[in-house]
Structure 1
Amino acid sequence: MDKSNLLIIVTTISLFISVFLAFFLLTVKTKHRLSNTLFAVFLLITAIDTSEPLLNLVTDGPSNPGMLRNTLAFLQIPVFYLYVSSVCYSDFKLKPQYILHLLPFLMANVVLLPRFYTVDLASKMNFIINRQSMIELQFNHILFHIQIVIYLIAVFMLLRKAKRLYLENYAGTSISSYNWLFQFTVVLTLLYLIVMLKNILKFSDYPYVSESIKIGILVFQLFISCWYLLKALNNPGLFRNIDSKLKLVSDIISEEKNSNQTAVTEQEYNRDLLMLKEHMAEKKPFLNPSLTIQDISDDIGIPVRELSVLINHQLGKHFYDFVNTYRIENAMDILKDQTKNKVTILEILYEVGFNSKSSFNTAFKKHTGNTPTAYRKCM
């Protein structure tokens, strides 16, 4: 099988998987419809971008729609950034200012107007034949690479902040959503780095190497699409969001310093801490697997802002770890109770407020140094 046939086969399979996954995301019933729609758009743009080998079978030469298809690549990473934002924040909405994300795409097409979009077929052919010396295409490739770097940095910064906000304000198991999304972004970053290498070689003395890499990119895209599809099918409720109005504790403290707000006195700190500990011991709110700092604030009457500073700053623990400490200590009591030696580890983790075996094992080992099974055997 020659390289061109292999490229067509891989492209066909990749397109089918991408379109199928996009259809699934657009039709599945979920409260996170906007997130699904954005990722479906990302998949469809990617599918159109990689469809060149198939389109070459039915087209005779360069055309305006064909060039427009090429420049759609400028929309991929902005749509992915918006998708990540929608996953991270529950109150995410599309806003008029997001139209600015279209600028690179528009710039890439505007520079092509004089010598491609507005000329005859012969001139278009000449433009493509001499593409390595065409300043417009060189400009677009540089712009595309700059765009990728800027957006990927922005995505990683967004994920980092979202994870910190989650740890400071929530104690559910949804942290796995952000861990998985981070992994997905890392894999996508690797894919874009390969694309950048392909584009660089395209304008070098080794354009044939670029064609070989194209096959690898399509296979890689196929792998990513299948991975995401498997994750979506097995975990339909994976992603749960946080409120974007929440602030990091470090920002709250900085604001208080800048505004010269009166610091909490030692007496107030001790009073609030005692109230918090009594509430955790007596009411056991940690048994709620979806507990948030807002829930505890409502129960004991301490404003979220002050409670967040108390736990995340003054106690030196993320709210997530603070709550899990109580859950693990409760689990330890059950594991030590000989009358409950028939209760399974799975039953225990659900009883104390976890709803994920992996998160329970991780938290238990972090707190005790042992796995739950090993701890029970030592008792």
Structure 2
Amino acid sequence: MDKINLLVTISIIITFIALFLSFFLLTVKTAHKLSNRLFAFFLVLTAIDISANLGDLLAISLNVRVFISSFFFLQLPVFYLYVLSVCYSDFKLKPKHLLHGLTFLIANLILLPRFYAVDLESKISFLANISSMPEVQFNHILMHIQMAFYIVGAFMILRKAKKIYLENYAGASIESLNWLFQFTIALSAFYFIALVKNIFKFTQYPNISEGLKIGLLLFELIIIFWYLFKALNNPGLFRTIDSKLKLVQHIISEGKNTTQLAINEKEHNEELLKLQQYMVEKKPFLNPSLTIQDVSAAIEIPVRNLSLLINHTLEQHFYDFVNSYRIENAMEILKDDTKSKVTILEILYDVGFNSKSSFNTAFKKHTGYTPTVYRKTL
């Protein structure tokens, strides 16, 4: 009885928080409306899924209770679309994205003949023998296949987006991608535990499944709080990239096919010199949101050529290339005795960084020291 009360209590808390946060995301003024709406929808689906635990409390009919439990099939597809919307600034919902609801439709159609369309007595009999019902077994297999598909898909998107970002941008979005990667890992752990729970559900140890269910709810509560904390403390966290941008390896591959990749050595040296002079004289790296398109427009070198020059020829990501100039500038400030009272935080903003963690990481990568230790060694 205590376990049931605990399950209901946690379910009520998570449902309330999920709905409250979804309302906040839908009403807050932001440039990332689609991302907010998709994550709000994900939270609403989470709240609906959890509300199945409140069936006895809310006197929900068996049909509605089972239908609610099938909303799980929509959660990961919506999260997948959310990841796309966070990664790519030009992402838009299209009619083709309705295909992501196919498993939800299949799961319910399979239950139609022997559950939804029968009388109450047959429904009760169905639920009493639920572990042996082929429809339920099929839906659980479908559920786990879907989980693996969308989790792998989300990681692939994040991996590609990070590569594109490093090759074309020099701002702080890499932190948002890293955080979203961590968030996806947390969700992966959650769904893996759910998989284990479902396995025990069809064995002789259903009590283990119930115990894991309570643990999952607590884990879900922590994940939601984590997202809320991160979103509220970093309102500008998500800055997306253009999905039309190509990875350098793809540009090289296309160049081999079209025989337009190579430029002569003279042109190459001229472009490299032009780039280096621009970086030293104009100091564009002081702009924390600098992109490769900005540099391309300023020095009149096509983005494609500039990307190959930096990412392929110099064997540096644009992100690291720009940060190297920022670090060199920071080192000059740290060496200047007249600026000994300038704080590390002031320096990082002055040279184009907008995050202490990204500054420390880049500085240590470039010098082998943290900024504070480097200053002390001078």
What residue number does 2:100 align with?
A: 101
- Residue 238 of structure 1: SS of its match in structure 2? coil
1:1-379 equivalences in 2 (<5 Å): 2-59=2-59, 63-379=62-378
Deviations 1:73-114 (A, max 9, x none): 000000000000000000010011111101111110111111
- Normalised to the residue count of structure 1, the TM-score between the two structures is 0.98
RMSD of the TM alignment (CA)? Answer: 1.1
Q: Deviations over 1:243-299 (max 9, x none)?
A: 000000001001111223251111111111001001001111001010000000000
Q: Distance in 1 between matches of 2:28 and 2:83?
A: 19
SS at 2:272's partner residue? helix
The answer to whether the Cα contact below 8 Å between 2:171 and 2:289 also exists between their aligned partners in 1 is: yes
Q: 1:143 to 1:342 in 2, by over 3 A?
A: same
- Structure 2 CA distance for aligned equivalents of residues 266 and 322 of structure 1: 21
Amino acid at match of 1:12: I
- One-letter amino acid of the structure 1 residue matched with residue 234 of structure 2: N
Contact 2:252 2:261 in 1 (8 A): no
Using the size of structure 2 for normalisation, the TM-score is 0.98
Q: Secondary structure at the match of 1:172?
A: coil
2:9 maps to a residue whose letter is: I
Q: Distance in 2 between matches of 1:287 and 1:58?
A: 58
Unaligned 5+ segments in structure 2 are: none
Distance 2:28 2:342 in 1: 37
- Between the aligned partners of 1:133 and 1:343, the Cα distance in structure 2 is 70
Over residues 331-361 of structure 1, what are the superposed CA-to-partner deviations in whole Å (9 max), with x where a residue is unaligned? 1011111111111111111111111111111
C-alpha deviation, 1:300, in angstroms: 0.4
Q: For residues 9 and 99 of structure 1, what CA distance do their matches in structure 2 show?
A: 34
Quick one: distance in 2 between partners of 1:128 and 1:320? 56
Q: Is contact 2:71–2:104 with CA below 8 Å preserved after alignment?
A: yes
Cα offsets for 1:222-244 (capped at 9, x unmatched): 00011111111111111000000
| Counterparts of 1:374 and 1:255, CA distance in 2 | 46
1-structure distance, mates of 2:155, 2:85: 14
**Structure 1 range deviating more: 48-57 or 231-240:** 48-57
Cα distance in 1 for partners of 2:377, 2:59 equals 72
Instruction: State the percentage of identical aligned residues.
Output: 66
**Deviation of 1:37 (Å):** 0.5
User: Which one-letter code corresponds to 1:317 in the other structure?
Assistant: Q
Q: CA deviation at 1:56?
A: 2.0
In structure 1, the gaps of 5 or more residues are none
Q: Deviations over 1:126-176 (max 9, x none)?
A: 111111111000000000000000110000000000000000000001210
Structure 1 position 311, deviation (Å): 0.3
Matched residues, number:
378
Of residues 295-304 and 195-204 in structure 1, the stretch that sits farther from structure 2 once superposed is 195-204
Is 2:173–2:239's contact at 8 Å kept on the other side of the alignment? yes
State the alpha-carbon separation in 2 of the partners of residues 59 and 135 from structure 1. Answer: 27
Query: 1:56, 1:193 → 2: CA distance?
Result: 27
Letter in 2 for 1:214: K
Tell me the CA shift for residue 303 of structure 1: 0.6
Offset of residue 199 of structure 1: 1.0
For the residue of structure 1 that corresponds to 2:58, the secondary structure is coil
Q: Distance in 2 between matches of 1:377 and 1:83?
A: 45
Aligned equivalents of 2:172 and 2:367: distance in 1? 19
Q: Distance in 2 between matches of 1:133 and 1:349?
A: 62
Contact 2:19 2:43 (8 Å CA) reproduced: yes
Amino acid at match of 1:340: K
Equivalents in 2 of 1:338, 1:298: separation in Å?
37
The whole-number CA distance in structure 2 between the counterparts of 1:71 and 1:373 is: 54
Partner Cα distance (1:104, 1:342) in 2: 61
How far apart are 1:55 and its partner, in Å? 1.8
